[in-house]
Amino acid sequence: MIGKKYALITGGSSGVGFSIAKQFAKLSYSLLLVGNRDEENRKAKEVLKEEFHVEVCYLTMDLATPDAAQQLYNYCENEKIEVEVLVNNAGFFFFDAITNGNTARTEQMLHLHITTPTLLCALFGKKMKEYRKGYILNISSICAHMPYPGVTIYGASKRYIKNFSISLASELSDFGIKVTTILPGAVDTDLYNLSDKTRKKLRKWKLLASPDKIAKKAIKALFKGKIVTVPYVINRLILFIIFPIPHKFINFIKRKLKLKPFIAE
| Domain at 62, CATH number | 3.40.50.720
- Averages of pLDDT over runs of 10 residues in the chain (265 residues) are 81 97 98 98 98 97 98 97 98 87 91 98 97 97 87 95 98 97 85 69 72 96 97 77 63 55 51
pLDDT of amino acid 265: 53
| In a domain? residue 1 | no
Answer whether residue 225 is part of any domain.
yes
Q: What is the pLDDT of residue 192?
A: 60
In a domain, 102, yes or no: yes
Domain tally, the chain: 1
Asked if residue 139 belongs to a domain, the reply is yes
Rounded to 5°, the CA angle 204-186-179 comes to 130
Nearest to 62 by CA among 15, 130, 11: 11
- Write the single-letter amino acid at 113: H
Burial class of residue 231 in the structure, from the number of CB atoms within 10 Å of its CB (0-12 exposed, 13-18 middle, 19+ buried): buried
151 within some domain:
yes
Contact criterion met (CB below 8 Å) for 6 and 20: no
* CA distances in angstroms from 178 to 93, 130, 146, 259, 264, listed in the order given: 27, 14, 27, 40, 31
User: 98-107: b or e for each residue (b if 16 or more CB lie within 10 Å)?
Assistant: eeeeeeebbe
Q: Domain of 90?
A: 6-264
| pLDDT, position 49 | 97
Can you give the pTM of this predicted structure?
A: 0.88
pLDDT of residue 139: 98
The SS3 of residue 34 is strand
Q: Which pLDDT belongs to residue 79?
A: 96
Residue 30 lies in a domain: yes
Please choose, from the candidates 32, 27, 15, the residue with its C-alpha nearest in 3D space to the C-alpha of residue 91: 15
Residue 69 in any domain: the answer is yes
The total of other beta-carbon atoms located within 10 Å of residue 80's CB is 9
Distance from C-alpha of 143 to C-alpha of 91, rounded to nearest angstrom: 13
* Structural domain contains residue 109: yes
**Cα 84 versus chain centre, distance:** 17
